[in-house]
Structure 1
Amino acid sequence: MNNLTILVPAYNEEAVLQQLYDRLTNVIENIPFYKFEILFVNDGSKDNTLSIIKKMRENDNRISYINLSRNFGKETAMIAGLDYAKGDAVIILDADLQDPPELIPEMIRYWEMGYDDIYAKRKSRSGETWFKKWSSSAFYRLLQKMTRIPIQKNTGDFRLLDRRCVEALKQLRETQRYTKGMFSWIGYNKKEILFDRDPRAAGETKWNYLKLTDLAIEGITSFTTTPLRLSALSGVVISFFAFIYMIWIIVKTLVSGEPVPGYPSLMTVILFLGGIQLISLGIIGEYLGRIFNETKNRPLYFIDEYNNEKESNQSSASMNKVNQDHQ
């Protein structure tokens, strides 16, 4: 009998957890020949998320949980869940029920057919503003043009991953994480299924525009160096035209005897070139900052508690323990 892990990152989701559990149990109880683990990753919630999960575990031994020592962000919460997942495949599902658990049987059917990564692509996105939809579409178009990796458009983290995909992702330990790009980077045999995305079942979204912008920057800087190349190319082009302009001024002065153009034109050129330089330095700084963070070689996360047991987080944090458990 195959084991399947349903991985649910959760941050301040007390309002929706019971609905999530009810819908999940209705789905998995109708799937024979599989044993399920429902693995919650509590990402430093400030509400009653953890206590609700613990009560659920008391009544259902299929539930496991990881309590991170603080809020590390969803990207890190997912890799923590993958480190601890015991299933032959892992289904990643958001707690807000925007991604319907009812798609899980279809994902399993495609997995049984030999696909390694069955991902859900959104046909529509209810409950989102037109600006969020437009900006998301524009970002993915831009990212697809800037990188050689085929980034999946209109897809999130809702997917089924075969164990070999999970093991591949566990090897990617960078601190600046853009998991949506990592799913594409590792490759393997992928299958798309379409669905209509629902609005949140309850609670408020944790992704404001500032966090989405930060995630977009992570995606671009994690999977392409095109901004650096564009910066260098812009410098070459602008320097060329500046040189031509300089020659024109010199020739004009020598031929007509007119003085060099004055303060306004000079300041315009200086301010324009200074702006380009600052933009280029900012782009370089983004990449340099990521290099700085990676060279620290810090653990990605610390576990406060795993299934009612306190974690010591000694010797490379919890990875050694997890690997020993699997072996």
Structure 2
Amino acid sequence: MPRAPEDRRQRVALVIPLYNEEEVLPLLIERIEAFRANCPDVSEVVLVDDGSTDGTARLVQSLTAGRPGYVLLRFSRNFGHQLAITAGMNCVTADAAVILDADLQDPLEVVPRMIEKWREGYDVVYGVRRTRTGDAPLKKWTARLYYRLFQRLTEVDAPLDAGDFRLVSRPVLEAYRQIGEQQPYVRGLIAWLGFNQTGVVYDRPPRAAGQSKYPLRKSLKLALDGLASFSGRPLRYAVRLGLAVAALSVAGLVWVL
């Protein structure tokens, strides 16, 4: 059950990691400005440039010049999506933060529903993907499999079919900051922290522009990092497998001798 709502549930920040997002930035800022006109609760927009090699930072400065509430953080190199989110969360001064990707696959239209749940007393409101338009069937299948595997192999009650798109309250932001994880798995850490959590279902649209910054290699690394961070079981399985192989090797050697 959610706790009683507090008076300090007013201002909301958007936290958006960026990596080579020149193509989508004009549309992103346009959508954000239209959204803020109808949702004055969003007082802060934290954009984190994760070492882009194109003109992302320069374009952000141009598009947001004279517009209040924008903050641009720039990494000296590409440190990765999860660290970019973490830096943005640590920079937020508002009462809550909504994490979303720059490609507009995390719809701004869902944010008011998250804010409503937050004001009911929830500390974390995560987006649950009902559909994933534009994703290949294999990607959809592997994503569903991974979420279930993560829940089974770890002791973390992580929501199924939920990525990083979520609202987190000020108490969660402060608790997350205290962890100081060097290789964070954001959605896993937020689930692990506890607090009152609930979800809102949405349909995930295709990417608005540009290309995915999570090719197979990066997606696999994120998945493995998540499992390694929260479960000793994969390690135990690997040790057992290694011992079994060693035992078979010894048995084979004895048989040969």
Fold match by TM threshold 0.5: yes
| Distance change >3 Å, CA 35–CA 175, structure 1 → 2 | closer
Alignment of 1:17 onto 2:21 = no
Higher relative contact order (CA 8 A, sep 6+): 2
Where does 1:286-325 land on structure 2 (aligned, <5 Å)? none
| Structure 1 position 8, deviation (Å) | 0.8
Asked if 1:60 is matched to 2:60, the reply is no
Report if aligned partners of 1:56, 1:63 keep a CA contact under 8 Å in 2.
no
Q: Which moved more, 1:213-222 or 1:169-178?
A: 169-178
Does the 8 Å contact 2:104/2:208 carry over to 1?
A: yes
CA shift digits 1:195-246 (9 cap, x unpaired): 1101110001111101111111101110001022223444666677889x78
- 1:27 pairs with one of 27, 31, 35: 35
1:186 aligns with 2:193: yes
Among 115, 133, 146, the alignment partner of 1:126 is 133
**Whose radius of gyration is greater, 1 or 2?**
1
Shift in alpha-carbon separation, 1:242–1:88, aligned structure 2, 3 A: same
Q: Which amino acid aligns with 1:200?
A: R
Post-superposition offset of 1:35: 5.2
Deviation at 1:130, TM superposition (A): 1.2
TM-score in terms of structure 2 length: 0.89
| Percent pairwise identity | 38
- Structure 2: distance between partners of 1:133 and 1:208: 14
Secondary structure of the structure 2 residue equivalent to 1:157? coil
Over the residues paired in the alignment, what is the CA RMSD in angstroms? 2.2
Change over 3 Å in CA distance of 1:66–1:230 after alignment to 2: same
What CA distance in whole angstroms lies between the structure 2 residues aligned with 1:240 and 1:39? 54
Give me the whole-angstrom Cα distance separating, in 1, the residues matched to 2:235 and 2:249. 21
**How far apart are residue 3 of structure 1 and its match?**
2.1
Deviates more, 1:122-131 or 1:132-141: 132-141
Q: Deviation string for 1:21-80 (max 9, x for gaps)?
A: 222222221125x35111111111111111111112313022111111111111111111
How many residue pairs align between the two structures? 249
- Distance, in Å, in 1 between the alignment partners of 2:119 and 2:255 is 74
1:6-26 deviation line (CA, Å, top 9, x unaligned): 111111111111211222222
In structure 2, do the counterparts of structure 1 residues 161 and 242 end up closer, same or farther at CA, with 3 Å as the change threshold?
same
2:218 is equivalent to residue 211 of structure 1 = yes
**Residue 124 of structure 2 corresponds to which residue in structure 1?**
117
Matched, 1:228 2:235: yes
Please tell me whether residue 89 in structure 1 is matched to residue 96 in structure 2. Answer: yes
- 1:185 is displaced (CA, Å) by 0.6
Q: Name stretches of at least 5 consecutive residues in structure 2 with no aligned partner.
A: 1-7
SS for the counterpart of 1:214 is helix
| Distance in 2 between residues matched to 1:261 and 1:9, nearest whole Å | 58
Q: 1:35 to 1:199 in 2, by over 3 A?
A: closer
Distance 1:148 1:261, change over 3 A: closer
Residues 131-155 of structure 1: CA distance to partner in whole angstroms, max 9, x if unpaired? 1111112222222111111122211
CA contact (8 A) 1:20 1:97 kept: yes
Rounded Cα–Cα distance in structure 2 between residues aligned with 1:153 and 1:174: 23
TM normalised by structure 1 equals 0.71
Question: What corresponds to 1:170 in structure 2?
Answer: 177
Structure 1 counterpart of 2:163 = 156
Separation of aligned partners in 2, 1:180 and 1:35: 22
Structure 1 gap segments, 5+ residues each: 247-259, 267-327
Relative to structure 1, the CA distance from residue 187 to residue 44 in structure 2 (aligned partners, 3 Å threshold; closer, same or farther) is: same
Give the alignment partner of residue 7 of structure 1, picking from 12, 15, 22: 15
